[in-house]
Amino acid sequence: MSELLARHRAVMPNWLALNYHDPIEIVSGKGNRVIDADGKSYLDFFAGILTNMIGYDVPEVRAAVERQLATGVVHTSTVYLLRGQVELAEKIARVSGIPDAKVFFTNSGTEANETALLLATYARKSDQVLAMRQSYHGRSFGAISVTSNRSWKNNSLSPLNVHFLHGADRHLVQFEGLSDADYIKACVDDLRHVLATSVSDDVAALIAEPVQGVGGFTMAPDGLFAAYKEVLDEQGILFISDEVQTGWGRTGSSFFGIGNHGVTPDMITFAKGLGNGFAVGGVVARGDLMDAPHAVGLSTFGGNPISMAAANATLDYVLDHDLQANAARTGEIIISGLKAAAERLSVVKGVRGKGLMFAVELETPAQAGRFMELTKRAGLLAGKGGLYGTAIRMAPPLTLTVEEATEGLGIIVTALETIDAEAAAQ
């Protein structure tokens, strides 16, 4: 065990999971690659859990942060005007497509979802919330209560009354063989049944990830959320799209993941990639919902000048370089390459994804662990996940080049071939 790992084990919680048998310490990065403490270089297909959205050491982000540092002001608080917040809120309100949108900044995705749930329960005067099976929305009591993955729930304490819906679980036997349209119909029927049987009076909101992150990039067929929204609208139930992983063009086909369903939600929550590593999260919501709470509120560090400088520079970079189009282009190379390889690899049970957010479903958690070790050795960082621990999830920076996409695909396919051969030899 390395000296740092021993010190980590002594003072950090056991449940703070580390990747790899011999965990690595990343000490530097440039472009879409990082270097570990032993000097080994990796193509980064996990990007700090989808957070280093435009890669490492980006001059524009660095310059923006350095300009802010040079003013001597790292923090003032929201009791003073903050130009960076206003500028970023204007941009986010515009790209959200939400009418008369207003924005509140937080430090994390968890806090963003707490805020959205507060706004929804306040507006609807109800503690009843709908969420999706296999979801993950964060680590606070409210966020855990709408999380549907037992591995991430330590207890069932909940400030909310939650019912979980189908929609990203078509592997279940009752949905086997259904077309997209029939699966959507079955899910909508179930939603109506839940609303008829399991709730009382008004429901506040549905919260959903367009592509489930921790769930292993499982997702509803395009159009499901439009069909759900028709039912929700009949009862005035609000719709919150958790775009902590799916925002800013990552899915290639839409700037926010929910756009793939042709839906404009009432609120969008975001975090992770927006600050390209600097802590920033938030909610963009219909102005009437955002303005409604009667009590005053603030987030001390939320939207601080440094994170706003980084986030403004990052969002400008994404828009100026049309990284959504790049995600579509490079993601297609990888996803189609993986699907082609899967046809001859019996250990691969599925390939799914949109843009630069793609996953490979293996047969066993041990195979997923083996994949992690093999790709690490070959110089590529990936992530694990999924309800059953059998999904490999990957989401490189949106700045990935065509050459890097091809290189990464090669490493992934070689690792899968090795695992396939090992399984065949057993």
Ligand X SMILES: Cc1ncc(COP(=O)(O)O)c(C=O)c1O
Instruction: Decide if 52 contacts 29 (C-beta within 8 A).
Output: yes
φ, ψ of residue 113 to 5 degrees: the values are -70, -35
From residue 308, alpha-carbon distances to 13, 87, 97, 274 in Å are 31, 9, 21, 9
Member of 85, 96, 110, 254 binding ligand X (CB under 6 A) = 110
* Tokens describing residue 411: 């490493």
**250 — phi, psi (to 5°)?**
-60, -35
Determine how β-strand 128-132 pairs with β-strand 161-165.
parallel
- Parallel, antiparallel or unpaired: strands 26-30 and 33-36: antiparallel
Shortest reach from residue 34's CB to ligand X, in Å: 19
What is the nearest approach in angstroms of ligand X to the Cβ of residue 262? Answer: 21
Please identify which residue in 46, 136, 164, 371 interacts with ligand X, judged by CB under 6 A: 136
Q: Is 309 exposed, middle or buried (0-12, 13-18, 19+ CB in 10 A)?
A: buried
Could you tell me the two tokens for 337? Answer: 């390459």
**Cβ at position 120, least distance to ligand X in Å:** 15
CB closer to ligand X, 224 vs 395: 395
- Smallest gap from Cβ 149 to ligand X, in A, equals 11
Structure tokens at 376: 């690490």
Distance of closest approach, residue 210 Cβ to ligand X, in angstroms? 9
Q: Which is nearer to ligand X, 281 or 396 (CB)?
A: 281
CB 224 within 8 A of CB 185: no
Q: How far apart are CB 308 and ligand X at their closest, in Å?
A: 17
What does the DSSP assignment read for 250-303? TTSS-SSGGGGGT---SEEEE-GGGGTTS--EEEEEEHHHHH---S----SSTT
**Which CB atom, from 195 or from 274, has the smaller least distance to ligand X?**
274
Hey, which residues between 271 and 290 contact ligand X (CB under 6 A)? 271, 281
Pick the closer one to ligand X by CB: 34 or 143: 143
State which of residues 88, 123, 131, 244 lies at the interface with ligand X (CB under 6 A): 244
Among 55, 84, 109, 282, binds ligand X (CB under 6 A): 109
Using CB under 6 A as the binding rule, whether residue 113 contacts ligand X is answered as: yes
**One of 245, 251, 304, 312 touching ligand X (CB under 6 A):** 245
Q: Name the nearest CA neighbour of 169 among 228, 209, 220, 211.
A: 220
Q: Does 213 bind ligand X (CB under 6 A)?
A: yes
Q: The tokens of 89 are what?
A: 């809120």
Our finding on whether 242 is near ligand X (CB under 6 A) is yes
Task: Give the shortest CB-129-to-ligand X separation in angstroms.
Answer: 15
Q: Does 137 bind ligand X (CB under 6 A)?
A: yes
Beta-carbon contacts of 192 under 8 Å, excluding residues fewer than 6 positions away, are 231
Stretch that binds ligand X, among 64-72, 109-117, 320-328, 416-424 (CB under 6 A): 109-117
Residue in the shown chain whose Cβ atom is closest to ligand X = 109
CB of 49 to ligand X, least distance (A): 6
Contact 96, 116 (CB under 8 A): no
Establish if 138 lies at the interface with ligand X (CB under 6 A): yes
Question: Considering only 95-103, 209-217, 283-291, 329-337, which stretch makes contact with ligand X by CB under 6 A?
Answer: 209-217
Where do contacts with ligand X occur on this chain (CB under 6 A)? Answer: 108-110, 113, 136-138, 209, 213-214, 242, 244-245, 271, 281
